[in-house]
Structure 1
Amino acid sequence: MLTHLPFDPCPRRAPTADEPLTVNLRSLPADVTVPAHSHDWAQLAYPLRGALRISAAGMAWLVPAFRAVWIPPGIEHEVVALGEVELRTVYVARAASPLPLGACAVIEVSGLMRSLIEALSEAVKGEAAEDRLRRDLMIRLMLAEMRRAPPLSLGLPLPRDRRLQALCNALIEDPASPLSLAEWAERVGASERTLARLFQSELTMGFGAWRQQLRLARALDLIGRGRPGGEVAAELGYASQAAFSAMFKRAFGVPPGRFMQERAKLA
């Protein structure tokens, strides 16, 4: 079984001064890891099927289908495919960057942006003036859509302390774990008080808030795959579907059912 995918530093089409934004089609095998690497250009990774987990600059981002993660140039990042992943990678020249260059972020992908990504992936770099004008206009509009895209709070800060790393990594693998902070303390070799202090000092949030953020990100992935709300609630460790729905609505403004309806319109 393939677990690591060697990184190819030469993408299919890198951005240039003449073409500051390019779109590439990618497919990743199930559960494969692309080792840590960086680019001279910015990247917008946009899954159409499956989900991605991106680790970079002390943070992790869970990126479900029909959302995208922005990775600035020069930031080293590791990519993990959650299931089989079909994605588009949008490369953007540093000088044309529409989003901040200092940090990664997950953004909403509008209907117009989706259409532009597909059109640009199919566009042939022709020499005719009309072809060049059409491509340039699509690139300008794509950059404008990226600039105005609303961000999503799907980033998880990652700790430096080895004991807290062990706890957080275990939760990432099993978000439904019911273990309390006191029970985790016994497993990772630290007192409950020490872990509580580390969560605040390293991650600027408590244990419960960090776990809920993780579960929210995972919920978006599972719902985006069409999983029923009851199954998602059980898989994430909620006592009932109602409790899960209430948490989801507080975070995203709509219940899971409506989110699934809106997602179906995008598919």
Structure 2
Amino acid sequence: MSDSRLVVRSYAVTHPPNLDLPTRRYEAWDQLCFASQGVMNVETSDGTWVVPPHRAVWIPAGTRHAVRMTGRVSLRTLFFAERITRRRLPRACRAVNVSPLLRELVLHVCRIGILHASVAEEVRLAHVVLDQLVLLEAVPLQLPLPADPRARVAAEHLAAEPGAPGAIERAARASRASRRTLERLFAAETNMTLGRYHQRARIIAALRLLAARRPGRGWGRFLANSGAATPAERIAWPRLLVAGHSQGGGHAAFLGTRYPVHRVIQLASTCDAALGAPAPWTHSDGTWATDPAARYFGLAVARDAICSAHAAVWQVMGMDPARQDDAAAACSGGAHGGPIFCTENYPRWVQLLQ
């Protein structure tokens, strides 16, 4: 069948852990690279994107790219005929958030396999998917590669060993450029300071480790005070934000009692309470390493049947009783999972993370 009779093709396959797909490019076909499960890394000449399950990468036609799997990955990719996307979507790679609606649309198209230009219903479906893509905002999960040879050498060193002690200084020596020169080059070519670029490289590396379900392997590279006597002392706690949902919120809160973390976020969490009867450790006695009144935050959906229990426990913990309510539209899905699964709560996430 001639490609001119197609508007969308799909590719659905589950790859084994740590598989590297060879570098390739597709002429005349734009690509939405999405994994419904697992994390992958998409690499182009312009940089690297890390792609967890709630994100995807838009790859315009003609872009050479390689895909690396981190752990087991269920790849669900759509290919769009460039003739229908050229005027509506960007001609450069970018990572985007995948809304619940877009996720279901992608999976539905993959089940169909091919959308034909001769079938009106399938053409309409293709344009619904495109409408969703046009609405999506780009997200900063790219590690761009600078063009200057010195800056590129430094960038490659930072990406290879993001958590190594003195990583920036070692990258500068490898590039044969001063740190001041690299700061200028990175600001001009990546729109980031050298420190911010290094931070993003560390985040991407951390996501890869988490996706591989090996949280104990390699985490030493992300610690501070390597000469400290205990692992707890080596962690830069004041730089960490800990969060958890439901029972996980209790674990996050407990970490805050022991270590001076930057912030604790509890999502629909009763913190080990029996629906209103707080566990003994939740009673703040002034000895906590992280002050609940200043650095603990909670988020729950009012429709959650145990929302009142969350609020009661948070008050016992010493959190500020003042609260902010809003009249957001009803979240999709169950109310208890709303704080993490409901896209309407993304703006609140932004507030909590700042």
Normalised TM-score (structure 2): 0.56
The unaligned stretches of length 5 or more in structure 2 are 225-234, 243-262, 268-298, 300-336, 343-354
Paired with 1:160 and 1:90, the residues of 2 have a C-alpha distance of 30
Residues 201 and 79 (structure 1), Cα distance of their counterparts in 2 relative to 1, 3 Å cut: same
Deviation at 1:156, TM superposition (A): 1.7
- Equivalent runs, 1:1-267 vs 2, <5 Å: 16-40=3-27, 41-97=29-85, 99-123=88-112, 132=119, 134-219=121-206, 236-237=222-223, 239-241=235-237, 243-245=239-241, 265=341
Paired with 1:113 and 1:162, the residues of 2 have a C-alpha distance of 39
Paired with 1:69 and 1:106, the residues of 2 have a C-alpha distance of 4
Give the percent of matched residue pairs that are identical in Structure 1 and Structure 2: 26
Paired with 1:172 and 1:164, the residues of 2 have a C-alpha distance of 12
Normalised TM-score (structure 1): 0.72
Q: Which moved more, 1:142-151 or 1:103-112?
A: 142-151
Deviation at 1:186, TM superposition (A): 3.3
Does the CA contact (< 8 Å) of 1:39 and 1:74 recur in 2?
Answer: yes
Paired with 1:84 and 1:151, the residues of 2 have a C-alpha distance of 25
Higher relative contact order (CA 8 A, sep 6+): 1
Paired with 2:40 and 2:158, the residues of 1 have a C-alpha distance of 17
Deviations 1:53-82 (A, max 9, x none): 222242221112221000001112222222
Paired with 2:90 and 2:70, the residues of 1 have a C-alpha distance of 26
Paired with 1:161 and 1:204, the residues of 2 have a C-alpha distance of 14
SS in structure 1 of the partner of residue 13 of structure 2: strand
Deviations 1:131-190 (A, max 9, x none): x45433332211111111221111222134444334322332333223153343334444
Paired with 1:224 and 1:92, the residues of 2 have a C-alpha distance of 28
SS in structure 1 of the partner of residue 14 of structure 2: strand
Residues 125 and 89 (structure 1), Cα distance of their counterparts in 2 relative to 1, 3 Å cut: closer
Paired with 1:210 and 1:194, the residues of 2 have a C-alpha distance of 15
SS in structure 2 of the partner of residue 152 of structure 1: coil
Question: 1:8 aligns to what?
Answer: none
How many residues in Structure 1 have an aligned counterpart in Structure 2? Answer: 241
Does the CA contact (< 8 Å) of 2:9 and 2:114 recur in 1?
Answer: no
Higher gyration radius (CA):
2
Q: Which moved more, 1:161-170 or 1:55-64?
A: 161-170
The unaligned stretches of length 5 or more in structure 1 are 1-13, 247-253
Does the CA contact (< 8 Å) of 1:234 and 1:240 recur in 2?
Answer: no
Deviations 1:10-69 (A, max 9, x none): xxxx99444312221033343333333211200010012222222224222111222100
Residues 83 and 91 (structure 1), Cα distance of their counterparts in 2 relative to 1, 3 Å cut: same
